[in-house]
Amino acid sequence: MISSMTGYGKHTEILNGREITVEIKSVNHRFFEFSSRIPRAYGFLEEKIKSYVQSRVARGKTEVGVSIISVETADTKIAVNEPVAKGYIDALRELCEPLGVTDDIRLSTVARFPDVFTVTKGDTDEDELWNDVKSVAEKAVDAFVEMRMREGENLKADLLSRLVNIEQLVGEVEKRSPERVKEYRERLFKKISEVLESKSIDESRIITEVAIFADKVAVDEETVRLRSHIAQFREILEYDEPIGKKLDFLIQEFNREANTIGSKSQDAEGAKYVVGLKSEIEKIREQIQNVQ
> What is each CA distance from 107 to 99, 111, 112, 135, 144, in whole angstroms?
21, 6, 9, 44, 52
Give the angle 156-160-163 at the CA atoms, nearest 5°.
Answer: 140
Q: What is the pLDDT of residue 185?
A: 55
> What is each CA distance from 84 to 81, 87, 103, 106, 114, in whole angstroms?
6, 5, 19, 15, 9
In 197-243, where does DSSP find H-type helix? 203-217, 220-237
At residue 101, the 3 state secondary structure works out as coil
Partners of 26 in beta bridges? 7, 62
Q: What is the pLDDT of residue 210?
A: 52
Helical pair 126-196 and 203-217, crossing angle rounded to 10 deg? 160
| Residue 144 main-chain phi, psi, to 5 deg | -65, -45
Give the angle 273-282-233 at the CA atoms, nearest 5°.
Answer: 95
What fold, for 7-72+125-148? Ribosomal Protein S5; domain 2 (3.30.230)
CB proximity list for 180: less than 8 A, separation 6 or greater: 217, 267, 270
Q: What is the pLDDT of residue 46?
A: 95
- Domain ranges across the chain: 7-72+125-148, 76-121, 150-288
Residue 200's identity, in one-letter code, is: S
Distance CA 56, CA 185 (A): 61
At residue 39, the 3 state secondary structure works out as coil
pLDDT in tens, the chain (292 residues): 788 999 999 999 999 889 999 999 999 888 899 999 998 889 999 999 999 999 999 889 999 999 998 876 555 677 888 888 888 888 888 888 787 777 788 888 888 888 888 766 666 789 999 999 999 999 999 999 999 999 999 999 999 999 999 999 999 888 776 666 555 555 655 655 555 555 555 666 656 655 555 556 567 778 889 999 999 999 999 998 889 889 999 999 999 999 988 877 777 777 888 899 999 999 999 999 888 8
**Buried b / exposed e along 196-227 (16+ C-beta atoms within 10 A):** eeeeeeeeeeeeeebeeebeebebeebbeebb
Q: What is the pLDDT of residue 290?
A: 84
Q: What is the pLDDT of residue 115?
A: 84
Q: What is the pLDDT of residue 70?
A: 83
Partners of 21 in beta bridges? 12, 67
| Residue 34 main-chain phi, psi, to 5 deg | -115, 140
